[in-house]
Structure 1
Amino acid sequence: MMLRFAMQKWMIPAVLLSLILSGCASQTQQVVVNPQTHLADELFDGYQNIEIEPEAEVFGLSLAMRSFVDKQILRIDDPKARIRSLIKGIFDRSHMNLLYDSRANTTAAQTFENGIANCLSMSIMTYAMADYANLDVRFQDVDIPEFWTFAQGYSMLNGHINLKILPRNEHNTTYIRKGGLEVDFDPQGYRVKFPTEEIDKQLILAMFYNNKAADYLVDEDYPAAYAYLRAAAVTAPELSEIWVNMGVLYRLNGELQRAEQAYQQAITLNASQTAQENLAHLYNLTGRHQMAEEILARIERRRLSNPFYHYLLAEQAFEQAHWRQAIDSYRRALALDKSKHEFYYGLAKTYYQMGDLSATERYLKMAKRRSLFHQDEQRYQSKLNLLTRI
């Protein structure tokens, strides 16, 4: 029983910067971080006026949510049966109404009301409901491989979190074998069991703030971006994604020394390729080309076996109208993983640009067959319908 959604990390190729949206396998080390050493309140006038959602609001339940949970667990005393009934209810509701939007960084109540979610917002909503149902619910960081997508001029490096829901031990009851469920919201349909690491609620709250900051950063609202990154840093300074995004924010505002310090802090916490790549680009910008080349060469070697890296290269080639180069990279991605609808659609849209309508139709049909969301199936079918009219 799995409904799947994904979290995103963003990279901006136009300025060679990478933003990370949380919800990924951060694998943070036990490093003590003083966030005050990296903050620069004086640079972002007006950040104090941004209203940051407190924890109680992020995880709070509306009356409609409470009513929904009460109905799902009505007259069910057995905690294991309660878990199954609650999750079935959420899944049934999701299949009927829920739309996926990577930028749906919303509170639990907003997600329930809007019917739009990403991985983190859906997990937050489910956590709040399960906790209200007196269940033992825990967030987990999932160590998935790099997964790249591309949209609206941005390349996105996806990561992932999920939930484990268990019966809660009470004062007179202890469950030896709890028999809980792992609940996973992820559209990539991973069939492999990846390692997980339990993470606490404060880290999730910091992820929520970090994702909101990334949205504002992409929209070039820098005071709001700083306000949310600052809140994230104060909440969980050990989360490396915060310092990558803080570095990007400083870089975009010309604060190169502060940006470098933020990237180095991120690498100290988690030597992620995204943090290292940002640092390498900063080295290039400041004339330290040899140091940059060494970092980028290491990253390149690791990425050659990743189908989503080739997909990223294909999308960049497509944006530059290098059709043959794009097709070659899409095919390399498919040679490594034939299950992703995005790869087939990439070939379809490229062949369309080249005037090969037969290949366009063939790959659109293949993309549709591998879609996991009804909205994607409809999108591909609409394109097929238009193609028949040409």
Structure 2
Amino acid sequence: MTRRLITRWAHTATALALAGALLALGGCAPMTVTGAAPADPPWADALFAAPARPPQAAEALALSPAMRAYLPQLRAAGFDGTGPARALVDALATRSGLRLEYEAQTTRTAAQAFDDRAGNCLSLVLMTAAFARELGVSVVFNEALVEAQWRREGGLVLRSGHVNLTLGTPVRRAGWRVGTDESLMVDFLPGVDLRGLRTRPIDERRVLAMYLNNRAAETLATGDVAGAYWWVREALRQDGGYLAARNTLGVVYQRAGQVALAGEVFEQLLALQPDDGSALGNLALVREAQGRLADAAQLRARRDALEPLAAQALRELSPAKLAWLKARKGTAPVVP
């Protein structure tokens, strides 16, 4: 029997727009390359101060001492015939269990989500997977096919997609996995009927890249461009085929005033995925900064035709924000 688990409201992917450019983050609308890994994007390590402590991808799924102390309780709950997978789901879903809350501002590691009893969808998926593996339960990470959600945050426009995970054996149909009575799908998005929900499996490298890319966007939103660079660099080291991270790298370069590098990244991304709306919009900003206004208009028109919701979100920026962006033009990346 497929079990449905819901916290309050969750999303895991974010498409970030800074004064005109869009960033797509972990779990977002599919931005991926299959087969051989594409060529590396242009790196510019010398332009960004190295962090005191480099990002550590392994921390995303690591168990903390507090989580290990909680494991005996989960194991004991599974001995009554419920089994470890269902005992874990019950701990996540019931008021007597972990009492999780949704909180979207920061993408947490598994350990941080457990300590805070809160997280966005990706954070809660990481925490669930970390526990499941320690309990000997098989885990499949899934990208879910759901309608993207949009919101504004300061000068950013964020697009949210979704990921969840399956405990047990999922069924595959035409390349997508479908929740059935034989699998236990754990999800943190309310209002979605998990029976028949289309999902596509993603590997651990992709999940780690999503986590790192989200952290890059969140860091960039605070104004720490150098910190964001190192987060997204590690995301692409984990999974060079994750195009959302390439898009983030381009916006980091925009924000650093490296317009030529940003353009190179977006051109490379569009060569891999010609209809990517985020990259089209971001490259339009680069062309505008370079004085190539006709090219910028053409790119924007194509983006708007492909992603009308993105176009609407960008139009809803306040006049004050648009004036600020215009004043910043040519000195920093503009992201819608």
Q: TM-score, normalised by structure 2?
A: 0.80
Flag the 1:144–1:75 CA change in 2: closer, same or farther, 3 A.
closer
Partner secondary structure for residue 286 of structure 2: helix
- The alignment-based identity, stated in percent, is 28
Partner secondary structure for residue 94 of structure 2: helix
Structure 2 partner of 1:293: 297
- 2:300 and 2:119 mapped to 1: Cα distance? 34
Alpha carbons 1:266, 1:275 under 8 Å: kept: yes
Give the C-alpha shift of residue 246 in structure 1. 0.7
Structure 2 partner of 1:25: 29
Name which of 253, 273, 279 aligns with 1:275: 279
- Per-residue displacement from partner, 1:337-387 (whole Å, max 9, x unpaired)? xxxxxxxxxxxxxxxxxxxxxxxxxxxxxxxxxxxxxxxxxxxxxxxxxxx
- 2:65 and 2:214 mapped to 1: Cα distance? 26
Partner secondary structure for residue 198 of structure 1: strand
Give the C-alpha shift of residue 265 in structure 1. 2.8
Structure 1 partner of 2:248: 245
Flag the 1:268–1:198 CA change in 2: closer, same or farther, 3 A.
farther
Name which of 208, 222, 226 aligns with 1:223: 226
What amino acid is aligned across from residue 147 of structure 2 in structure 1?
Answer: P
Specify the structure having the higher radius of gyration (Cα).
Answer: 1
Flag the 1:167–1:301 CA change in 2: closer, same or farther, 3 A.
closer
- 1:129 and 1:138 mapped to 2: Cα distance? 13
Name which of 140, 150, 154 aligns with 1:148: 150
Paired residues in the alignment total: 305
Give the C-alpha shift of residue 294 in structure 1. 2.6
Flag the 1:273–1:314 CA change in 2: closer, same or farther, 3 A.
closer
Structure 2 partner of 1:259: 262
Alpha carbons 1:164, 1:180 under 8 Å: kept: yes
Flag the 1:113–1:94 CA change in 2: closer, same or farther, 3 A.
farther
Alpha carbons 2:15, 2:23 under 8 Å: kept: yes
RMSD: 3.0
Structure 1 partner of 2:74: 72
- Per-residue displacement from partner, 1:7-39 (whole Å, max 9, x unpaired)? 2424335x212222212232512242343x521
Alpha carbons 2:259, 2:289 under 8 Å: kept: no
Q: Does 1:185 align with 2:185?
A: no
Q: Does 1:7 align with 2:7?
A: no
Alpha carbons 1:80, 1:166 under 8 Å: kept: no
What amino acid is aligned across from residue 110 of structure 1 in structure 2?
Answer: Q
Alpha carbons 1:25, 1:161 under 8 Å: kept: no
- 1:106 and 1:94 mapped to 2: Cα distance? 23
* Larger RCO, structure (CA 8 Å, separation 6 or more): 2
More helix by percentage: 1
- 1:197 and 1:116 mapped to 2: Cα distance? 25
Structure 2 partner of 1:325: none
Instruction: Give the gaps of 5 or more residues in structure 2.
Output: 171-179, 322-336
Structure 2 partner of 1:118: 120
Q: TM-score, normalised by structure 1?
A: 0.70
Q: Does 1:16 align with 2:17?
A: no
Name which of 208, 212, 219 aligns with 1:209: 212
Show the 5 A alignment for 1:49-64: 49-55=52-58, 57-64=59-66
Instruction: Give the gaps of 5 or more residues in structure 1.
Output: 169-176, 321-390
What amino acid is aligned across from residue 143 of structure 1 in structure 2?
Answer: L
Flag the 1:69–1:318 CA change in 2: closer, same or farther, 3 A.
farther
Structure 2 partner of 1:328: none
Partner secondary structure for residue 157 of structure 1: strand
- 1:119 and 1:269 mapped to 2: Cα distance? 28
Partner secondary structure for residue 140 of structure 2: strand
- 1:302 and 1:107 mapped to 2: Cα distance? 34
Alpha carbons 1:83, 1:167 under 8 Å: kept: no
- 1:185 and 1:206 mapped to 2: Cα distance? 20
